[in-house]
Structure 1
Amino acid sequence: MPPTEQGATMNPRDGTDYLPISMLNQWAYCPRRFYYMYVLGEMEHNAPVLEGMLQHERVHAGGVESEGEARVHRRVYVWSDRLRIAGFADLVEVRGGVLLPVEYKHGRMGRWLNDHIQLCAQAMCLEERTGRPVPRGAVFYWGSRRRQVVELDAKLRARTEAAIVQARALAESGALPPPLTHRAKCRDCSLEPVCLPREVRRLREEAAGHGGAGGSCEPWRRST
């Protein structure tokens, strides 16, 4: 059976949990957000999330269309038995026998590693299912009304496989990660009222007996 947006799907042959591809994006954006959504099943909707859902309605309708020389498959279910991941690609364009997965995102174009990891995971699933190489994909950003081509090189593939391992390990650890120190990411996150990052950081600082929290922030953000 195809997975839900948040829950894992089960391999009917051996009962193995398959990590939803969309959750890799959440993990790369913020491990704490991933844990709330995937492990605890929390989800809140703010204005950007609702707008993104509306923008996705046509893409998620499914079906096959012809656009010029390309054949466009909408909402394609993909999975990898090797990586134990599964999910949906918004679009898969087939042009001259070459597959191009396309992911749609709400925000503006940028170097968002979390989006690239999600796209790369879809591509690796397509390669396993079809036996064809998928050298690149694309992300369409509604905020910019432009498509960004992403080269699926060895470095991105290695990061994607590492993300899968780390996300699964976090889910199995049973430990809620601390909040990020990236205030802009927390401000834009729909789960901020549940996560309470400022309050948690303040309590940690008081418990530690000093007035400053260290730590670095990741060089990416979620575009939703």
Structure 2
Amino acid sequence: MNDDYLPLAYLNAWEYCPRRFYWEYVLGEMADNEHILMGRYLHDNINEPGESHQGDTLIRRQQWVWSDRLKVNGIIDAVEERENKLIPLEYKKGRISQHLNDHFQLCAATLCLEERLTVSIPYGEIFYHGNRRRQRVDFTPELRQMTESAIALSRESVDGAMPPPIRNSKKCRDCSLLGICLPKEVKLLRQPVSSTQSPPF
């Protein structure tokens, strides 16, 4: 596949934090923490490509997808087929909530499937290990537009400067690149120094 196609996993990183996306995709920096290791462990059982049946459902695992229009590609964890309907499925280690980064990744994979198969897919699902439950994600016009906009913005950012740290300290705390990104230190250095203050170094 062409090198200039954006991998779907990096679209997830972009929505989580544009600065993380820049570190990983543009600069090639990677690091592990407990969240990354747990996610990798949970995927061990689903990372083998192949087909299986569960009742009247055909499950195709580890499907390679791409879009020439959007210039994105990647692997979706599974695509289920039942009653002549396709249901894209992603597995995540966390708990159910409105994770737009997960929704964007699933929606982008679906846009790829629709382009390749010339079908319309109304919804997909995300299995969250933290709840042992699936969350239905409806591919509304709004979600589709937001996903395509995120793809365009992430691609544009590649040629720009590194984004500043985000304000969500919880995301920073859980990020595997915390020790590389140093968001607190960068924020401190960016603060204006008054005439009565000493420089923070």
TM-score w.r.t. length of structure 2? 0.94
The CA deviation string for residues 95-153 of structure 1, in whole angstroms up to 9 with x for no partner, is 12211110111111101111100000011100011111111001111111110000001
SS state at 2:159 partner? helix
Aligned-pair CA distance for 1:209: 7.7
RMSD: 1.6
Aligned-pair CA distance for 1:207: 5.0
Indicate whether 1:125 and 2:151 are aligned: no
Whole-angstrom distance in 2 between the partners of 1:152 and 1:129: 17
Aligned-pair CA distance for 1:172: 2.2
Q: CA, structure 1 residues 141+184, in 2 after alignment: closer, same or farther (shift >3 Å)?
A: same
Q: CA, structure 1 residues 67+180, in 2 after alignment: closer, same or farther (shift >3 Å)?
A: same
TM-score w.r.t. length of structure 1? 0.85
SS state at 2:166 partner? coil
Structure 2 stretches lacking a partner, 5+ long: none
Larger radius of gyration between Structure 1 and Structure 2:
2
Indicate whether 1:55 and 2:53 are aligned: no
User: Could you tell me which of 69, 73, 78 is aligned with 1:91?
Assistant: 78
SS state at 2:191 partner? helix
The CA deviation string for residues 177-223 of structure 1, in whole angstroms up to 9 with x for no partner, is 10011111100000000000000000001458899xxxxxxxxxxxx
Structure 1 stretches lacking a partner, 5+ long: 2-8, 11-16, 212-224
Amino acid at match of 2:174: D
Whole-angstrom distance in 2 between the partners of 1:210 and 1:29: 37
The CA deviation string for residues 55-93 of structure 1, in whole angstroms up to 9 with x for no partner, is 001111111001111110000000000110000000000
Amino acid at match of 1:104: Y
User: Could you tell me which of 179, 182, 187 is aligned with 1:196?
Assistant: 182
Aligned residues: 197
Q: CA, structure 1 residues 53+210, in 2 after alignment: closer, same or farther (shift >3 Å)?
A: farther
Q: Residues 2-81 of structure 1: matches in 2 within 5 Å?
A: 9-10=2-3, 17-81=4-68
Amino acid at match of 2:171: K
Segments of 4+ moved more than 2 angstroms = 206-211
SS state at 1:64 partner? strand
Whole-angstrom distance in 2 between the partners of 1:210 and 1:125: 57
Q: Residues 77-156 of structure 1: matches in 2 within 5 Å?
A: 77-156=64-143
